Structure formats: structure tokens, C-alpha cells
Amino acid sequence: MKTSWQELLVQAMSDQGDGGTEGAPFTLWTAKAVYFPVQYDGAEWVGSASRHPDGVPTQHQGGG
């Protein structure tokens, strides 16, 4: 079963999750964050970073 970017975005907005491996490129700006695709070793998921400086460091994306 494939997971859609919409499902991954909903997961990313509440928590980090795993996803499919065939998603299209995208960048999504919201009021608080920027979301983007991350891929590592055949897995693909939605990563995010704060849209505005908030003192919270961005964790490493795409590694294991």
C-alpha cells in the first residue's frame, strides 16, 4: 500500500512518520513550518523546519 504526501504531511504536522518511496517533489509553507520530502535508503518521509526563528534546532534529516 502506498502512502500519499497528504497522509505524510498530516503525520509530520503531528509527529514524524515513515512513508512510501515514490513521492513527487514538493515544498509546503505553513504559518509555522516548511515541509519537504526526505529520502534515505529506500524510505521516504516528510521533513520539516521552523518557518521563523524559534530557538528550536532542526534535527538531521535523511540519515540513519
Domain boundaries, the chain: 1-14+25-55
- pLDDT value, residue 34: 94
- What band does 8 get if pLDDT is binned at 50, 70 and 90? confident
- What band does 49 get if pLDDT is binned at 50, 70 and 90? very high
Please give the model's pTM, rounded to 2 decimal places: 0.67
Pairing mode of beta strands 33-40, 43-50: antiparallel
Of 32, 36, 34, 29, which Cα lies nearest the Cα of 5? 36
Query: What mean pLDDT comes out for the span 43-55?
Result: 91
Please give the Cα distance from 60 to 2 (Å, whole number). 25
How many C-beta atoms surround the C-beta of residue 51 within 10 A? 13
Cell of 43: 524510505
Q: Please report which residue ranges of the chain form alpha helices under DSSP H.
A: 5-14
Measured in residues, the chain has a length of 64
Tens-place pLDDT, residues 14-44: 765 454 567 788 999 999 999 999 988 878 8
